[in-house]
Amino acid sequence: MSQYLPTVAALLALIPAASHASEARGKSTPPPAKDCVEVSGTALSGTAEGPAYAAAEVKCGAKLSLVLQRQTGRNGILPVWTVIDQVTISKPSLRHELLQPAYCSSSRFPDVAVFALGRMVEQPDGSYRSENVVKAWRFDIKRERLAAIPADGVTCALDGVD
């Protein structure tokens, strides 16, 4: 049993805090490990009869991770989330950011949630498009994990504000 404690402690360290950002999304989780904070999060579509899923970008000190979570219960009216997969993110520059599935798509995986590590650049029409996408992941719902995919063919875009 004691051989598993470091692994369990490491996984618990990646669970985001029930801070104001988490409460806005209805998350109920234990406090994070020291120096861990949820940077961003997004709901992911699952199946109609299956559990709900979410992903969060978590920063622990200098380390960044993309964490996949499944709803495993409720605490009153708030859902309880359990970490089921994670990937470590290494940004090649300060301008690179984790781009969310709401803005990203892949020509190779057209109907799944795609995360990308890249830069958004403003276009002449006021919209933004991804540039220099260096890594990408898709949400593999059957295996409940984040799967690395080729970055070529991944595009992220955000329409300009009128």
Q: Does pLDDT of 4 surpass 50?
A: no
Q: Which of 24-28, 45-49, 66-70, 127-131 has the lowest mean pLDDT?
A: 24-28
User: Which of helix, strand or coil describes residue 19?
Assistant: coil
My answer on whether 126 and 149 are in the same domain is yes
Give the pLDDT score at 161: 64
- Better-scored residue on pLDDT, 18 or 110: 110
Side chain identity at 151, as an amino acid letter? Answer: A
At residue 91 the predicted structure's pLDDT band, cuts being 50, 70 and 90, is confident
My answer on whether 7 and 85 are in the same domain is yes
- Better-scored residue on pLDDT, 76 or 60: 76
- Of 67, 89, 111, the position where a domain reaches its end is 89
Interatomic CA distance for residues 112 and 104, integer angstroms: 10
At residue 72 the predicted structure's pLDDT band, cuts being 50, 70 and 90, is very high
Segment 3-30 shows an average pLDDT of 40
Give the pLDDT score at 146: 94
Domain that holds residue 46: 2-89
My answer on whether 25 and 57 are in the same domain is yes
Q: What is the pTM of this model?
A: 0.72
CA atoms within 13 A on the CB side of 45: 8
My answer on whether 42 and 81 are in the same domain is yes
Residue pair 73/51 in contact (Cβ under 8 Å)? The answer is: no
Side chain identity at 43, as an amino acid letter? Answer: A
**Domain total for the chain?**
2
Give the pLDDT score at 46: 62
Give the pLDDT score at 87: 93
Q: Which of 45-54, 58-67, 129-138, 143-152 has the lowest mean pLDDT?
A: 45-54
Q: Does pLDDT of 40 surpass 70?
A: yes
- Of 89, 122, 146, the position where a domain reaches its end is 89
